[in-house]
Chains A and B, each alone.
Chain A
Amino acid sequence: MKNVLHWSAPEGTGDGVLYKVKYSVYGVGKWIRKPECRNINRTWCDLSNETADYEEQYYASVKAFLNGMCSDWMETTRFNPLTDTKIDPPMVNVSSTEKSISIILTAPEKWKRSPDGESVSLLQVYPGLQYNVSVLNKKTKKRWFFSVSNNTLVVPWLEPGTAYCVSAQIHVTTPLLHSGFSKEYCIATLKDKTA
């Protein structure tokens, strides 16, 4: 839910174009200027702070200036922070024993106003959040899939001294959203001491 407004520069204008941005809460009667995005030459503006309440929906608008001339306000479609967002993969933490691996999954946090602000997990935003976990046996090249609701998974009865690679994905059923799979975290089960 880090919500950044992006736009393309007007065609054929080259450098020197400046922009200003405003936004509005859908259903509320006024447009609000974004001071930090006034007379900027970049083509994006971070509106995360202004669109943090995901029970509301929003519009944003941009105007371009060059040599005393200006464009019309160009408006976005209606933005719903809950559904019109991308979800990052979960963090994956793997540890192993001789015959098992333990996987701890952490859902990303909702964007927050400041580092010391209150952390809100996506679990609280999307009650139906689940994890799809892929476990690849590097020796046999076989991949298994698990679907878990809680954030820990232990896979027992594995082969000692074998490398396993784990990656995970977040899956939300309503609204239908899913992250990509995380990068793979590989770990080897400990060698069999009795062998």
Chain B
Amino acid sequence: MLFFKSYLLPRIIQYIVVILIGTTVVFVVPRLMPTDPVQKTLELVALQGTYIDPEAVEKLRETLKELYGLKGTLFEQYIAFWKRLFKGDFGPSFAQFPTPVMDLIRISLPWTTVLLLLTTTLSWVIGNILGGLAGYFSNQRWARVLEGVAMVIRPVPYYIVALGLLIIFAFAFPIFPVGGGLSVGRELHLTLDLLLDIVRHAFLPALSLVLVGSSVWFMTMRLLVSNIVREDYVLYAQVGGISDREIVFRYTIRNALLPQITGLALSLGQIFSGALITEQVFAYPGLGTLLYNSVSRGDYNLLMGITLLSIIGIATGVLIIDLIYPLFDPRIRYR
């Protein structure tokens, strides 16, 4: 019961608050827009040259207002907005009218999810193991070399790393394709060949995400471990003659993983943002590229849909990590 009140409940409240704040921002911002999206769409239709009589225009205006959720007072709009959110209905895309936004997202989502899950896990594991070792054996030459490398990669934003890799491995030494998720004209039959093609295309985006991600985890882990090494229980284990191997894995890395799990939850949003921009660099067919397209075509509904989905997705991811956390920390499990 104490566990529920002091651990679970605050997390669930946090989950609700994140989504509430995020969605409200998404609701409010476009309504501050100086241009009216309905008017804009009507102009677009008019630009195409076909004549529509004024009555039909008025009818279209009403339909569009309804579709974009701009009907009624602000409060009514907000309620309607939430109703649609629960139904998973983000309205139609402006640019590819009338395809629902959800359909477009549905195509891109698996690409991003797989890339993101894979690279996040990989960088977390690599960064923590290397960082843990480098923190424990901080006097060794290899540890200092690793630290130097991580220190240089760590602060560089995803975009620049991705661009750098693109310049090196796609232009200077064309080993990997310049972009995309699949070779042009390839049919979607599940064969080994197709799988290899996907991997070849995903390699550079994945590499840049893992490079930056693992150096971030490396630097924090190294610092954590270099502090934990001074904890009494580690010193005592050393005095007791327990092998370095066991101390590294069962005493230092094991214990430093706890704040790193919390860290993973807190930086999930940043990691996701990084993945979006990396996808755009490599024209990888995930949410990032979809987002870029929606921006360049002024497709606000799609943009809002992606943003809302990201907020809910990230918040849920954080909640899941928070729910798993007690499994690793007995101090929370048994109060």
Chains A and B come from one and the same complex: no
